Amino acid sequence: MSHHVKLFALSTCIHCKNAKKFLDENSVPYDCVFVDSLSGDERKETIAEVKKHNSAASFPTLVIDGGDRVIVGFRKDEIKEALAL
């Protein structure tokens, strides 16, 4: 089954880089938003979206299937289970 995965990340975060690398290595298609590269209203709106799923707004935040599953941090085992890898 194909999942829609959105990764909210910071460009300088090692855990975010590891999450991206893991998704790439497992050929998981995903949308990645580097929140620290946004500015103005776009940044505010994106942070508000992250907070809907993760009130602490910490990174990485993976939103799977529109929020059916949310994984905060690089938790390889949880990502594997959620995406049936």
Q: What is the mean pLDDT of residues 62-72?
A: 96
Tell me what pLDDT residue 48 has. 97
pTM of the model: 0.94
Q: What is the mean pLDDT of residues 40-61?
A: 97
pLDDT band at 2 (very low <50, low <70, confident <90, very high): confident
Mean pLDDT of the chain: 96
Architecture of domain 5-83: 3-Layer(aba) Sandwich (3.40)
Report the distance separating Cα 4 and Cα 38, nearest Å: 22
The 8 Å CB, 24+ separation contacts for 65-74 are 65/3, 65/4, 66/4, 73/15, 74/15, 74/16, 74/18, 74/19, 74/22
Give residue limits of the domains in the chain. Answer: 5-83
